[in-house]
Chain A
Amino acid sequence: MSKTIFEKNSPGRKGYTLPENDVDYKLNDCIPPKFQRNEIPRLPQVSELDVMRHFIELSHKNHFVEKGFYPLGSCTMKYNPKISDAMAGDIALRDIHPLQPENSVQGALQIQWELQRDLAEISGFASATLQPVAGAQGEFTGIKIIEAYHKAKGNNKKTIILPDSAHGTNPASAALCGYKIIEIASNDKGMVDLEALKEVVNEDTAGFMLTNPNTLGIFESQICQISEIIHAVDGLMYMDGANFNALMGLVKPGEMGFDVMHYNLHKSFSTPHGGGGPGSGAVGVRADLVKFLPYPMIAGNTDEGFFLDSSHKATSIGKVHSFYGNFMVNVRAWIYLKMLGNQGLKRVAENAVINANYLMRKLEKYYYVPYNESCMHEFVASGIWQKKENGVHTLDIAKRLLDKGYHAPTIYFPLIVPEAIMIEPTETESKETLDEFIQTMIDIAAEAKNNPQILHDAPLNTPIRRADDVRAVKQLNVKFDLCNMPLTCEE
Chain B
Amino acid sequence: MKFTRGLKDGLPIALGYVSVAFAYAVQAVGQGFPPWFPVLVSATNFTGTGQFAGTNLIAAGASIAVLIATMLVINIRYTLMSFALAQKMGSGFPLWQRAILAFGVTDENFAVAIRQPQKLTFSYLIGLMSCSFCGWLGGTALGAGVSELLSAALAGGSGQAYYDMLMSALNIALYAMFVAIVIPPSRDDLKIFLLVAVSVGASCLFYFVPVLAALPAGLDIILCSVVCTAVIAYFFPHAEEENTAAPPSDDNANSDVKTAGRHGDFTTNSDPGNGKGGAL
A binds B: no
